[in-house]
Structure 1
Amino acid sequence: MNVPAIGNTTNAAQSAAGKAQTVDYQSFLRLLVAQMKNQDPTSPMESTDYVAQLATFSQVEQSVQINSKLDGILQASTFAQAGDLIGREIESADGTIKGTVESVRLYSDGIMARLEDGQELPVWAGVVIR
């Protein structure tokens, strides 16, 4: 885990925003061992606290894996929907753009349909597909 130096907060914020910070199981265990080594000997941490931390980390890790799998399912669904648009007639919500879909382009926020006449139409709510 990278910890940016204190001083230039603009670069630290940009660095943190630009990179996805992940902590895996091995990192968690290293942190746990460091915590055990550096605890106060006169007031040691209870073993139940360690188990609770491990259980919490396990739940977070499972949630991340579930989200990753759901993203994959959503992407596969988007690909299937995009492929089904080719060759179909499409009309914008206001009726100003209409035609037959020649190709589709996928973006992170939706689908752009390219019509046979060269016009492009984003596939949003209100678009009519025949």
Structure 2
Amino acid sequence: MTSPTSGPLGTGGADAAKALAAAKASEAKSKSLGDKDTFMKLLVAQLKYQDPTKPADSTAFLAQTAQFTQVEKLEDMINMLQSQRMIGASSLVGKTVTYMDETGAQQTGVITAAKLNGDSEPTLKVGNTDVQLSKVVEITTATNA
């Protein structure tokens, strides 16, 4: 017996292709590097539409499961790194900094707030100016004399 279509997911016809296309479209919309929901959708679609007479290779399935675990662990590490960045930036609040502005001139001020925007580096609020942490050239503790 021949199947209507074949491909990396075995044989499964137009429904499998539609499910795979929908999952890939969802993946393209995702901004996250390792979107585990999309990975799971692809894995479920693969299992759902595989040809029962040609089941998925157990080695390949194990490799995909390992990749999923790896993606989860990487997401955990990213979250931990972001937390550490925020803790480090928030510890600077109240300190006096010297930073380079857009024109290349050095400016000095006291940090009043710190924020972290997504995966980017921390931004410090100095007066009415947002300063990226990488632009800071000196940090000093204000002395009360």
Q: Same fold (TM over 0.5)?
A: yes
Which of 73, 94, 103 aligns to 2:80? It is 73
Distance 1:29 1:104 in 2: 42
1:37 matched to 2:52 = yes
Gaps of 5+ in 1: 5-11, 40-44
**TM-score normalised by the chain length of structure 2:** 0.61
Which of 67, 75, 84 aligns to 1:60? It is 67
Partner of 1:3: 21
Shift of 1:18: 1.8
Compared with structure 1, are the counterparts of its residues 97 and 38 closer, same or farther at alpha carbon in structure 2 (3 Å cutoff)? farther
1:23 matched to 2:39 = yes
Contact 1:87–1:101 under 8 Å retained in 2: yes
SS in 1 for 2:106: coil
**TM-score normalised by the chain length of structure 1:** 0.67
Compared with structure 1, are the counterparts of its residues 98 and 55 closer, same or farther at alpha carbon in structure 2 (3 Å cutoff)? same
Partner of 1:42: none
Contact 2:99–2:135 under 8 Å retained in 1: no
SS in 1 for 2:57: helix
Distance 2:48 2:28 in 1: 28
Distance 2:94 2:123 in 1: 14
Which of 78, 95, 109 aligns to 1:99? It is 109
Percent identity for Structure 1 against Structure 2: 14
Q: For this pair of structures, how many residues does the alignment match?
A: 112
Counterpart amino acid of residue 21 in structure 2: V
Contact 1:105–1:113 under 8 Å retained in 2: yes
| Aligned-residue RMSD, C-alpha | 3.0
Gaps of 5+ in 2: 1-18, 141-145
Partner of 2:58: 51
Distance 2:44 2:132 in 1: 47
CA deviations over 1:60-92 (Å, ceiling 9, x no partner): 111111111101111110120121010011111
